[in-house]
Every structure is written in C-alpha cells, then in structure tokens.
C-alpha cells in the first residue's frame, strides 16, 4: 500500500514507497540483498519548472507500481526516493549527497534541468553512482568512464526537427526567436543559429525573456518589426503563452512554433484562444502510438486522469532503463555493475525511443530526426507531421 507523501526536508522532499523499508543500496554488490532496491530522484517538482518535474514524479510513481506489480527487479521490489530541488542547484547538491550517504540509493534519476544536473555531476562521478539525468544536454560527453547517462533526446535533435518543419512545411525563410535567458534557452538559441543556414533560414531577431514573464509585448513588437515570417519560441510557461497572447492581441498572423516545453495541456489553458494554431514538437504520437508508448499513455491517463507531458516519458524510461541494467548485471546493484549493465543491456523499447547505450554513447538515441510536430486544434495538440519520415 502506498505511504502518504511526506515532507522530509525544507525543500519539500518526498519519499515514494510501495515496499517495506529496507537497505536497498546497502552492502557489497547488492546481489545478496532481499530488501527493496532504492533508486533516488531529484526533480523540479515545485517552482518555475514544476510543469517539468511534477509529471516526472508522477511517472516514477506509475513505474514503481507497475514494476513491483510485475515482480520487481531481479525478484526485489523497487522504491523510488524522490526529492524536490525546486530547480535550484544550491538545493540539488545537498540532496544528491543525502541520497548517496543517507538513503543509500543505487542510482539517481534527474535533475530535471541542465544547471542542477551539472551541479551534481561531480558528486555522482566521484561516488560512482549511476545518474540518469533528465536534461537534454549531453553533459557526460568528453568524460571517459562517466557514470552519467540520459534518456532525453539531445538538444540538437529537437532543434533540427523544428528547423526542418519550418523550412519544408511552413516554407518561410526569415525567423524570429524568443528564448529563455536561462541555459535552456541560450543553449538552444546557439544551436538554432548554428543550424539555420543549413536549412536556408535567416534568424532576423533574437529576443530574450524570463520563464515567468507574463507580458511579451515588447519582444513580439521587435520580432515583428524585424520582418520575421515565423516565430520560434524556446521557453516554457507562462512566458510561452504570454508570447502567443501578445501575437494574438497585436493582430499579427504569423506561424508560431515552440519547443517541447509547451507540449502539454498547460499552454492551451494559459494562452486560451491565442494558442489555437500554434505548433510544438513532441516525442508522442497520440494518434497512432507504437506499443510501448500506447501502454504508457493509457496507463498514465488512467492513473492521473490527465495526459502525460513528454517530460514524464523521460523519467519513466529512466526507471525502466535502470531495471534493465540491473537485470543485465544479474541483480548486482553496486555502481560499477549498474553502469556496465546500462552499456550491456539489450536495446530497450521505451516510451520516447529505443535506447541502445554504449561506452561511447550514454544517450542511446541516434542523433537524427525523432520528433512529431503537433498543432493546437480546438484547444488540444494533434500530430500534424512526423519529422522522422
């Protein structure tokens, strides 16, 4: 039976448990243990990126229920210990230390966003605790024998998918970009500028915005004045919906395509009529999902009476990747065994993609087209284009 979610830190940490308490990560290689396997998670459940972290927490709840109902991992129940860092790296670091030294977890999922993920990287590398980070930046790259992996498509994949759609489907050449001033936005702006010429596109305006801004009139006016024929929005809500409302109120008829940060119900709720017709990209094919994706979408909807954001899928796939890794390691749960298990395990048909990790590629996803383009029609996103074709 589920325990109530209880606050255990000032940072609103929560522990999710289906099994009785036990030393899942304690002692040797874990192959002789019979208690639950404890896996930690650091997510941005509250704060300005709650739209990312809260669905990820729900996905881990669902994964824990389903894994344990199916017999657990190598005959042992799994227990996710989940903490909320509020996307604040000064909180992420002590939480990572707590998970390793006190909670004795065998691996850590998250953080949700790049800056906290970078902050805990030295900790997990030093402790040799496998970390399935949920950021889209390949922070493990260039670091031999890294313990960091990730199940999120690389930033370059999403940027190329968007630019391909703008060029071939929207058939415009001049693009304005409104981006988050934090690393999520600035990093992807750099990729947009790098790859735009390859698609015959010219970026005529670059306007920064804060994720929690609720007025984007000035940015929209400047992008319009620069002659943009389409607007690419690389920021989450409420800023993204503020951009849509500013364009709508200005009476400007221009295609708007935003990053996957808006690919959920919140954008349409906040933007209202201004959301109609806006594009985004998603890893879900809601019209004809492949089997693993279909099972997850239906289970999440039934559990929470709401469709999952794609951020939820990243966390869910991380849980099952760790399950497959421990099974590939013959039930061993020490860090080195799990790390090698991730590399050795057979390709995993996940919700987001098929993962095939290697010593060289800790993402396990080919660096090519992956996303579906979705558009808001009658208040909800619908798939309108598959960039993989």
Q: Is residue 9 part of a domain?
A: no
Query: Above 70 in pLDDT, residue 389?
Result: no
3-state secondary structure of 200: coil
pLDDT of res. 156: 87
pLDDT higher than 70, residue 319: yes
Same domain, 191 and 309: no
Alpha-carbon gap, residue 175 to 202, rounded angstroms: 6
* Strand-by-strand arrangement of the 108-109 sheet: 14-15, 78-84, 37-43, 108-109, 131-133, 148-150
Distances (CA, A) of 372 to 18, 215, 287, 384: 35, 29, 11, 8
Q: Are residues 232 and 298 in the same domain?
A: no
SS3 call for 140: coil
- pLDDT at site 19: 34
Does residue 245 sit in the same domain as residue 374? yes
* Same domain (yes/no): 25, 146: yes
Q: What is the pLDDT confidence band of residue 137, given thresholds at 50, 70 and 90? A: confident
Residue 7 counted as domain residue: no
Share of the chain above pLDDT 70, in %: 91
Domain count, the chain: 2
In this structure, what CATH number is given to the domain that contains residue 294?
A: 3.40.50.2300
Q: What angle do CA 225, 229, 234 make, to 5 degrees?
A: 90
Shared domain check, 145 and 39: yes
219 in the same domain as 85: no
Same domain, 36 and 141: yes
Note whether 184 and 235 are same-domain residues.
yes
pLDDT exceeds cutoff 90 at 102: yes
pLDDT confidence bin for 169, thresholds 50/70/90 = very high
Q: Kindly tell me if the per-residue pLDDT of 77 is higher than 80.
A: yes
pLDDT score for 32: 57
Both 380 and 246 in a single domain? yes
Q: Give domain status of residue 3, yes or no.
A: no
The answer to the question of residue 1 being in a domain is no
Q: How confident is the model at residue 264 (pLDDT cuts 50, 70, 90)?
A: confident
Q: In terms of residue numbers, what domain contains 215?
A: 155-282+370-386
- b/e string for 139-173 if b means 16 or more Cβ within 10 A? bbeeeeebbbbbbbbbbbbbbbbbbbbbbeebebe
Q: What pLDDT score does 16 carry?
A: 52
> Residue 365 falls within a domain, yes or no?
no
- Tell me the per-residue pLDDT of 2-44, one tens digit each, with 9 for 90 and over: 333 333 333 444 545 433 333 344 444 555 567 999 999 999 9
Per DSSP, what are the bridge partners of residue 258?
233
Q: Is residue 2 part of a domain?
A: no
The answer to whether position 93 is within a domain reads yes
Q: pLDDT tens digit string along 201-251? A: 999 999 999 988 999 999 999 999 999 999 999 998 899 999 999 999 999
Residue 316 in any domain: the answer is yes
Residues 128 and 33 in one domain: yes
Find the mean pLDDT for residues 187-192: 94
Give backbone dihedrals phi and psi of 24, rounded to 5 degrees, phi first.
-60, -35
Residue 136: pLDDT above 90?
no
Q: Note whether 207 and 309 are same-domain residues.
A: no
Model confidence at 387, pLDDT cuts 50, 70, 90, reads confident
Mean pLDDT, to the nearest integer, of 99-123?
Answer: 96
- Angle, vertex CA 388, rays to CA 180 and CA 317, nearest 5: 65
142 and 163 in a single domain? The answer is no
**β-pair type (78-84, 108-109):** unpaired
**What does pTM read for this prediction?**
0.82
Residues whose CB is less than 8 angstroms from the CB of residue 281 and which lie 6 or more positions away in sequence, other chains included: 158, 161, 162, 165, 257, 259, 260, 263, 371, 372, 373, 374, 387
């Amino acid at each position: 039976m589920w325990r109530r979610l209880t606050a255990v830190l000032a940072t609103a940490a929560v522990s999710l448990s289906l099994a009785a308490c036990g030393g899942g990560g304690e002692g040797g290689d874990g192959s002789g243990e019979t208690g639950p396997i404890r896996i930690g998670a650091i997510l941005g459940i509250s704060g300005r990126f709650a739209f990312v972290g809260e669905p990820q927490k729900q996905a881990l709840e669902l994964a824990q229920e389903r894994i344990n109902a199916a017999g657990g991992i190598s005959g042992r129940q799994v227990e996710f210990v989940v903490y909320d860092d509020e996307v604040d790296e000064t909180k992420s670091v002590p939480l990572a230390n707590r998970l390793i030294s006190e909670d004795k977890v065998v691996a850590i999922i998250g953080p949700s966003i790049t800056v906290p993920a970078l902050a805990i990287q030295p900790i997990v590398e030093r402790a040799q605790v496998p970390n399935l980070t949920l950021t889209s930046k390949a922070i493990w790259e260039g670091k031999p024998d890294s313990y960091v992996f990730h199940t999120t498509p690389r930033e370059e994949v999403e940027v190329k998918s968007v630019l391909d759609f703008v060029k071939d489907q929207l058939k415009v050449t001049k693009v304005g970009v409104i981006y988050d001033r934090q690393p999520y936005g600035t990093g992807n702006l750099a990729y947009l500028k790098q790859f735009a010429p390859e698609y015959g596109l010219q970026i005529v305006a670059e306007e920064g915005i804060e994720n929690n801004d609720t007025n984007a009139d000035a940015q929209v006016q400047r992008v319009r004045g620069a002659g943009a024929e389409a607007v690419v929005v690389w920021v989450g809500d409420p800023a993204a919906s503020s951009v849509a409302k500013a364009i709508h109120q200005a009476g400007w008829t221009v295609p708007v395509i935003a990053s996957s940060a808006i690919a959920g119900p919140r954008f349409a709720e906040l933007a209202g009529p201004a959301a109609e017709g806006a594009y985004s990209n998603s890893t879900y094919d809601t019209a004809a999902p492949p089997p693993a994706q279909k099972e997850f979408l239906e289970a999440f909807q039934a559990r929470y009476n709401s469709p999952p954001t794609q951020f939820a899928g990243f966390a869910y796939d991380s849980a099952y990747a760790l399950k497959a890794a421990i099974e590939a390691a013959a039930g061993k749960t020490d860090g080195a065994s799990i790390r090698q298990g991730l590399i050795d395990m057979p390709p995993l048909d996940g919700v987001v993609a098929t993962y095939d990790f290697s010593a060289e590629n800790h993402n396990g996803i080919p660096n090519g087209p992956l996303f579906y383009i979705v558009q808001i029609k009658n208040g909800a996103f619908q798939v309108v284009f598959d960039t993989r074709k």
